[in-house]
Amino acid sequence: MDDPAINKGGSVPLSIGEVAERIHLVRGQRVVLDADLAAFYGETTKRFNQQVRRNLARFPADFMFQLDAAEFAALRLQSASLNSGRGQHSKYLPLAFTEHGAIMAATLLNSARATELSVYVVRAFVELRGILVNNRALAAKVHQLERKVSIHDRNIAELADSMGQLLAAPPLPSKRSIGFLSGEDSKGKTGQKASSKVAGRKKT
């Protein structure tokens, strides 16, 4: 039975976006599974893996690794494509290829289609890296903005507290000014002194 993702006409049927949809994040690395990579390159999964296993020396751990059962189960929950179609009934746990591993596999197959599709695969990896970098930059800018808003709000709150304390404080008692007395104050004090003198004379 033909693989459903292989175009029988031999032309390239996939866009970079469609390739990117088959790239997964496993163990902190972006990878494409053997069944998808084989389909991209125009091979059956069985023959593709046979070629890879015959040349394991070309695929170190940072090029290729095999998923464990838990990782594969988690991917199947996340991806509808793994629950229908290629790799659904495989007896073996799939192989996962990083960007370098995908290029090495294309070199190993040495076919015109594999060479052509490897360019799409690499561009898809690059596109995803660019999205990740942009998201990180955006997240950093949002964090900086949040800090500025937080500091601004804190300053406003401190200002409001200070104003509240000033408004709630009791008025300060009036103090007698130091210096010359005004005309009215001087007259009042003179009158008080004269009254006290008259009262003293009457007593004598």
Structural domain containing residue 131 = 16-138
Please give the structure tokens belonging to residue 47.
């023959």
Residues with Cβ within 8 Å of 106's Cβ and at least 6 positions away in sequence, in order, are: 41, 114, 115, 117, 118, 121
| Structural domain includes residue 174 | no
Q: Is residue 55 part of a domain?
A: yes
**Out of 30-34, 108-112, 154-158, which region has the weakest mean confidence (pLDDT)?**
154-158
Q: Are 40 and 14 in contact (CB under 8 A)?
A: yes
The 10s digit of each residue's pLDDT in 70-105 is: 999 998 888 765 655 555 556 789 999 999 999 999
Q: Is residue 66 part of a domain?
A: yes
Is the confidence at residue 46, as pLDDT, over 50?
A: yes
Identify whether 119 is part of a domain.
Answer: yes
Number of domains in the chain: 1
- H-helix segments, the chain: 16-21, 34-40, 45-53, 69-78, 99-109, 112-168, 183-203
In a domain, 5, yes or no: no
Residue 196: CA count within 13 A, CB half-sphere: 6
Give domain status of residue 173, yes or no: no
Q: Is residue 171 included in any domain, yes or no?
A: no
5 has a pLDDT exceeding 90: no
Q: Which residue in this structure is represented by tokens 């902190």?
A: 28
Please give the distance of CA 58 from its chain centroid, rounded to a whole number.
35
Q: Tell me the average pLDDT of the chain.
A: 73
pTM, two decimal places: 0.56
Q: How many other CB atoms sit within 10 Å of the CB of residue 65?
A: 19
Band of the pLDDT at 67, cuts 50, 70, 90? very high
Kindly indicate the confidence band of residue 127, based on its pLDDT and cuts at 50, 70 and 90. confident
163: pLDDT strictly greater than 70: no
Which amino acid type is present at position 34?
Answer: D
Residue 199 lies in a domain: no
Cα dihedral: 63, 67, 71, 72 (round 10)? 120
Average pLDDT on 149-171 reads 66
Tens of pLDDT, residues 169-191: 565 555 555 555 555 555 555 55
- Residue 13: pLDDT over 70: no
